Amino acid sequence: MKKYLTLMMVVMAAGSYAKNYHEEIEKRQDTFSAIEELSESLEDELDEDAPNWEMVEQQSLKLVEHTKSLDSLFSPESAEDSRARTAIWDNPEKFDRLMAQLNSGFQQLNHASRNRDIEAAQAGLEEAQDTCSSCHRSYRSLW
């Protein structure tokens, strides 16, 4: 009886894991979409002669938080039914480096926005945006 119960619990846990992956994948895709939208709108804002710094400050903080939250959204084996390639877990060095660069670029953007420093803000955003296609080329499938 005890054995049976343990087995039941394992099966149930496995079931909920599968479900979690689905939620996790959806969450990371939504997070990436939010990152894309926010960084494009900040790029436009920083082209203005007098950017709305308060807005840049708030939005760049969101970018830092979104990027940080991605750390917990890449469980091993969560590639199925997503565009994440298994190279993320098989060959993580470049992935981790680009993720860290994405994070530090947005941190610099946020820091610069608090100092109202447009050049440093643009440089931070650029550092972050340099990672997008490089990571996608190696770690996001084409379909």
Per-residue x/- marks for ligand HEC, 3-22, CB under 6 A? --------------------
The pair phi, psi for residue 48, each rounded to 5°, is -70, 155
Q: Where are the alpha helices (DSSP H) in 47-91?
A: 53-70, 87-90
Distance CA 39, CA 35 (A): 6
Name the minimum Å distance from CB 5 to ligand HEC. 35
What part of residues 66-125 is at the interface with ligand HEC (CB under 6 A)? 82-84, 95, 98-99, 102
Judged by CB under 6 A, the number of residues near ligand HEC is: 23
The pair phi, psi for residue 115, each rounded to 5°, is -90, 0
Give me the amino acid identity at 102. Answer: L
Residue with smaller CB distance to ligand HEC, 6 or 69: 69
Per-residue x/- marks for ligand HEC, 22-41, CB under 6 A? ---x--xx--xx-xx--x--
Closest CA to 99 of 73, 60, 71: 71
The pair phi, psi for residue 78, each rounded to 5°, is -95, 25
Residue with smaller CB distance to ligand HEC, 35 or 56: 35
Name the minimum Å distance from CB 74 to ligand HEC. 8
Judged by DSSP in three states, 81 sits in: coil
Question: What are the residues binding ligand HEC (CB under 6 A)?
Answer: 25, 28-29, 32-33, 35-36, 39, 82-84, 95, 98-99, 102, 128-129, 131-132, 135-136, 139-140
